[in-house]
């Protein structure tokens, strides 16, 4: 068990060599050498929310908005499946244009097309009954980043939203039997080292099925345009600490980390405990408009495989379900 002081000591240590070694050993023991490749379709960049760090926030009039039709979404998912990927992540802003019935139809269609594939939803906050409907339609996993465990900071940077509501939804998702992904940003304006230690303690307590950990990155058309990005080294240390605190959690080497370090970000994440890379299957005509932050670097199959080789690991096309669901040996 890590204590708050253990975590703070690691964040302040002169180097992260030993920490990386411990995380790598935990990753090897719990996850093996395979790096799961998962496919993501960002099907709408319309969002009803106003998160102060995000380029998709509704006040951003400079962003060209798009919504993929259900047929386009199915087509993009089927391309990912044809590439051999066994997880399709459907992601969007909080966009009520897509009704419960529309999304359930899309989920069912993808499942009919590929019954053995897993579907992950990353579509934000919806009425509670929707989560149940999506689960019944066949969705397996849900990513809902909690963004920060500091409720005051959360409420300040998410106008109109509530940390308590966010956390209660995450609990509900677990009750419904989803494999649940959480996640947080590193280097948010106003975030402290104590907050970051709190993130690791939360992961240690909650033991999520997945966790996305990446740097805050400024986007030019947001209130945080002039703020400093999160630091690469801090992100890597937190990934390593996450692996140690919650060893069975799937940890992606995130696009945000790769954006901070385009030459080695994915591989560095893999060396610090990560075991997943998300391959972008959003059609080219839309991809640049999914501008959560500037200069976003996405993985394609080739760059993902290159990063995996660089890190001395092997790519896995298996579904990569939660390690919590797998029988102990």
Residues forming the site for ligand SF4 (CB under 6 A):
47, 49, 51, 54, 56-57, 93-94, 124
Smallest distance from ligand SF4 to CB 50, Å: 6
**CA-based max dimension of the chain:** 54
Of the two residues 54 and 76, which places its CB atom closer to ligand SF4 in the complex?
54
Instruction: Give, in degrees to the nearest 5, the angle at Cα 94 between 195 and 265.
Output: 50
Q: 277 pairs with which residues across the strands?
A: 37
Would you tell me how many other CB atoms lie within 10 Å of the CB of residue 262? Answer: 11
- Token pair recorded at residue 169: 């939804």
- Residue placing its CB nearer to ligand SF4 in the complex, 53 or 272: 53
Cβ closer to ligand SF4: 49 or 271? Answer: 49
d(CA 267, CA 304): 9
The tokens describing 323, both together, are 């390690």
Least spacing, CB of residue 190 vs ligand SF4, in Å: 17
Helices 232-245, 17-31: inter-axial angle, 10-degree rounding: 40
Minimum distance from CB of 49 to ligand SF4 (Å)? 4
At 85, is the secondary structure helix, strand, or coil?
coil
Q: How far is the CB of 169 from ligand SF4 (least distance, A)?
A: 13
Q: Pick between residue 20 and residue 126 the one whose CB is nearest to ligand SF4.
A: 126
Rank residues 93 and 320 by Cβ distance to ligand SF4 and give the closer one.
93
Alpha-carbon distance of 225 to 204, in angstroms, equals 32
Nearest distance from residue 33's CB to ligand SF4, in Å? Answer: 33
């Amino acid at each position: 068990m890590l204590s708050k002081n253990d975590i703070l000591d690691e964040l302040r240590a002169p180097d992260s060599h030993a920490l990386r070694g411990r995380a790598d050993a935990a990753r090897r023991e719990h996850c093996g050498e395979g790096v799961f490749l998962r496919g993501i379709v960002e099907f709408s960049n319309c969002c009803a929310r106003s998160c102060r760090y995000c380029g998709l926030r509704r006040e951003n009039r400079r962003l060209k908005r798009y919504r993929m039709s259900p047929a386009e979404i199915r087509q993009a998912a089927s391309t990912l499946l044809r590439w051999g990927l066994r997880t399709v992540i459907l992601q969007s802003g909080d966009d009520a244009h897509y009704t419960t019935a529309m999304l359930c139809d899309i989920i069912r269609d993808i499942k009919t097309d590929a019954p053995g594939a897993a579907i992950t939803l990353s579509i934000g906050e919806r009425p509670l009954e929707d989560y149940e409907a999506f689960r019944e339609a066949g969705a397996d996993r849900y990513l809902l980043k909690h963004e920060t465990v500091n409720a005051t900071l959360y409420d300040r940077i998410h106008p109109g939203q509530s940390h308590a509501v966010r956390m209660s939804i995450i609990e509900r998702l677990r009750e419904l039997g989803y494999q649940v992904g959480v996640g947080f940003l590193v280097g948010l304006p106003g975030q402290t080292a104590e907050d970051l230690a709190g993130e690791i303690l939360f992961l240690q307590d909650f033991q999520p099925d997945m966790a996305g950990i990446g740097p805050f990155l400024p986007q030019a058309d947001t209130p945080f345009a002039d703020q400093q990005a999160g630091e690469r080294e801090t992100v890597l240390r937190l990934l390593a600490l996450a692996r140690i605190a919650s060893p069975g959690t799937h940890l992606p080497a995130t696009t945000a980390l790769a954006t901070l370090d385009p030459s080695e970000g994915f591989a560095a994440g893999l060396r610090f405990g990560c075991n997943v890379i998300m391959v972008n299957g959003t059609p080219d005509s839309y991809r640049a408009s999914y501008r959560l932050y500037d200069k976003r670097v996405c993985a394609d199959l080739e760059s993902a495989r290159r990063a995996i080789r660089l890190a001395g690991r092997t790519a896995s096309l298996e579904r990569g379900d939660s390690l919590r669901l797998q029988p102990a040996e």
